[in-house]
Amino acid sequence: MREVALVYLDRSGGLQKFVHDCKKYNDSKQSYAVYRFIISINPSDIAELDATLGNHILHNPLQAAQIFQSVCFIAIKTLSLIEQLQTEAQISILLKPTHLPPLPSYVLSLSAYPLNYTSQRFYMSEGIVITMGTVTKYTQGARFLCTEETCPFSEGFRYIRVHCPGATESATVRTDFVCSLCSSPLQEDMKFRVLGDKQIVEMIDVKVLNALKGYSNDKSHFRIQALTVFLR
C-alpha cells in the first residue's frame, strides 16, 4: 500500500506540494520536533488505484495516515528534503479528503438517537452553529527526553508525542511518561513544543428550524440536542 500511496501522490500533484512544504521547513532556521503535513486525497481516485488502500483511508484513517507517514519519511531521506529530520515519528500527517461517498453511512446525523458512531473514521455532518468559543492554543507535538543522563534516549528524538484526532491534551503532554529502556521519568523539552489553534463550536441539527416556527402539525414530541465540535 505504500507503493500505491506514492503513485497517487505523484499523479495527483501531492508529491510536488509535499516537496514544496519540505523546502519551507528546510530553509527555516528554526528546529522542529514535529513536521506537520496536510495531504489532500480523493478517496475515489485512490480506490481505483487500489481498493484496499481506498477502503483503509475511508474506514481506518489513522492507520492510513501511518502509511503516508512512512512514504513521506522515505521520500525525505531519499531526496534529502529536510536535513534536520531524524526519525519517522517526527512526521505528522493529516489526511484531508476532498469528499466522501454520498451514502447514508457516511453522514453523521445530529438528530439520530442513540449516536452510535464508535468507529474512528470520516463522517460528514451538516448543522447550524449556535455558539462559538474563543480561539485557544493546544499542543500539536512535543519532544520528551529521558532524565537519566547515561541513557541513550536522554538526547535525540526518540520520544515524540503527536496529537491524534479525538485525543485530549493530557494524552499528548503529561508528567508520568517513563523511558522504555531504563524506566526513568521522561521530561518534556519545552523548546520543541509545537502549538496550534483550536476553537470549540456548538452545532445543532437543521431540523430545529421546524421547532422555531412556533407551531407544528406533528403531534409527536422531539428533543433537540447540541453537539460539541473541536476545530483544530
The answer to whether residues 95 and 189 belong to one domain is no
- Domain assignment present for residue 36? The answer is yes
Which of 99, 114, 147 is at the close of a domain?
99
The answer to whether residues 5 and 91 belong to one domain is yes
The whole-number pLDDT of residue 203 equals 92
- Domain assignment present for residue 225? The answer is no
- Domain assignment present for residue 88? The answer is yes
The answer to whether residues 88 and 142 belong to one domain is no
For residue 64, the enclosing domain spans 1-99
User: Residue 74's domain is classified under what CATH number?
Assistant: 3.30.1640
Using one digit for the tens of pLDDT, what is the confidence trace for 129-171?
999 999 999 999 999 999 999 999 999 899 999 998 888 888 8
Q: How far apart are CA 146 and CA 152, in angstroms?
A: 8
Using one digit for the tens of pLDDT, what is the confidence trace for 3-35?
999 999 999 999 999 999 999 999 987 888 899
Residue 39 to residues 36, 42, 171, 186: CA-CA distances in angstroms?
Answer: 10, 10, 24, 32
Angle between helices 2-12 and 14-27 (to 10 degrees): 90
Which of 74, 99, 124 is at the close of a domain?
99
The answer to whether residues 28 and 85 belong to one domain is yes
- Domain assignment present for residue 65? The answer is yes
Using one digit for the tens of pLDDT, what is the confidence trace for 191-231?
999 999 999 999 988 878 777 776 556 656 666 778 899 99
Q: How far apart are CA 154 and CA 64, in angstroms?
A: 31
Band (pLDDT 50/70/90 cuts) for residue 112 is confident
Q: Which of 131, 147, 160 is nearest to 228 (CA)?
A: 131
What is this structure's pTM? 0.85
Q: Which of 33-42, 121-130, 137-146 has the lowest mean pLDDT?
A: 121-130
Which of 99, 118, 145 is at the close of a domain?
99
Q: Where are the beta strands (DSSP E) in 64-221?
A: 91-97, 128-132, 136-146, 159-162, 186-188, 194-204
Would you state the cell numbers that stand for residue 202, as one nine-digit string? Answer: 456548538
The answer to whether residues 92 and 2 belong to one domain is yes
CA 31 to chain centre: 22
Distant-in-sequence contacts of 160-166, Cβ < 8 A, 24+ apart:
160/33, 160/34, 160/87, 160/89, 160/90, 162/34, 162/89, 162/92, 163/138, 163/139, 163/196, 163/232, 164/62, 165/62, 165/120, 165/232, 166/120
- Domain assignment present for residue 178? The answer is yes
Q: How many C-beta atoms surround the C-beta of residue 121 within 10 A?
A: 16
* Number of structural domains the chain divides into: 2
Would you state the cell numbers that stand for residue 207, as one nine-digit string? Answer: 431540523
Would you state the cell numbers that stand for residue 42, as one nine-digit string? Answer: 480523493
Residue 75, SS3? helix
